[in-house]
Amino acid sequence: MTTEPAPLATWPLAERSRVEVVFTDIDDTLTLHGRLPAVAYAAMERLAAAGIKVIPITGRPAGWCDHIARMWPVEGVVGENGAFWFRYDHKERRLVRRFLVDEATRRENRKRLDGLAAEILAAVPGTALASDQLYREADLAIDFCEDVPPLPDSEVARIVGLFEAAGCTAKVSSIHVNGWYGSYDKLTMTRLLMAEAFGIDVDEDRGRFVFAGDSPNDQPMFAFFPMSVGVANLRRFLPSLESRPRWLTAAEGGYGFAELADLLLAARSDHAR
């Protein structure tokens, strides 16, 4: 039986005080109703100032992740559901970009995905290419509720089925269905980022990390990290999740993320006494 997430306030102090890295989804985890609230950005800044690394793990495109890695108070970012990691090297003053597959393969996959996009849009009325599709390197994002009227779950399932019939991996976020050629996911690239950029084996001591998310495509992370948190808006997906987070915040989106940051920083303060 799948366990129901507990309230975040029940997270034991001893566990919280060990956290060194916060992995977090962006859409509807850091954001709320499509905007990044000040409390969420401030929470990232406060965590960074306390020496806790913040690393977004997102389905958003390479173009956005370039900006995030450069401009946000983060140590790196995994984008397009695991297609790459980016990290800004402040000492060298350059952006480090690491893709899972080479450029030639990405170009070939793009041609195939462009053809598939036309098929999906014709087969499922009411869908659209995600508005950020132009800035993507490795996947295809089909919008089912960000800039179009929300589609019923049955139509979202049809989109997933069309991706899978074409040999793609497909994942559902809170706003898009993302599809790509390859078997990687958010966790695959998170492992690579931590090993290659920081020399850290995430399998060695999972008690040093926490992951925060809000949707079905976060399930590999919920399943892998013992300390995983869903923001309150995850509740609508709970009946369909095979892997659930251990805790759930009281507030939605970025306000829930701020709750998480408050608990981590309080644990640091209590531990230092």
For residue range 22-40, list pLDDT tens digits in order.
999 999 999 999 999 999 9
Per residue in 120-129, pLDDT (tens digit) is 999 999 999 9
Percent of the chain whose pLDDT exceeds 70: 98
- In angstroms, rounded to a whole number, what is the distance separating the alpha carbons of residues 85 and 186? 10
Strand ranges of the sheet holding 128-129, from the earlier edge strand across to the other edge? 128-129, 140-143, 176-180, 169-172
**Gap between the Cα atoms of 224 and 179, Å rounded:** 22
User: Residue 270: which pLDDT band, with cuts at 50, 70 and 90?
Assistant: low
Q: What is the pLDDT of residues 77-109, one digit of tens each?
A: 999 999 999 999 999 999 999 999 999 999 999
Cα–Cα dist 223/204, whole Å: 16
Mean per-residue pLDDT of the chain:
95
> Does position 273 have pLDDT exceeding 80, yes or no?
no
Say yes or no: 93 and 142 in one domain: no
CATH of the domain at 148: 3.90.1070.10
Boundary of a domain, candidates 163, 180, 197: 180
Alpha-helical segments (H) within 96-226: 103-123, 153-165, 186-198, 219-224
Rounded Cα–Cα distance for residues 202 and 120 (Å): 37
Q: Could you read off the pLDDT of 134-154 as tens digits, one per residue? A: 999 999 999 999 999 999 999
Amino acid present at 17: S
With 60 as the cut, is the pLDDT of residue 194 above it? yes
CATH number of 233's domain = 3.40.50.1000
| Residue-number span of the structural domain to which 32 is assigned | 12-100+184-272
148, two tokens:
């179009």
Residue range 161-187, pLDDT digits in tens: 999 999 999 999 989 999 999 999 999
* pLDDT at 2 > cutoff 70: no
What is the distance between the alpha carbons of residues 101 and 98, in angstroms, rounded to a whole number?
9
**How does residue 3 score in pLDDT terms, banded at 50, 70 and 90?**
confident
Domain count, the chain: 2
Query: 70 Cβ partners below 8 Å, 6+ apart?
Result: 88, 95
Q: Which of these three, 146, 180, 214, is where a domain ends? A: 180
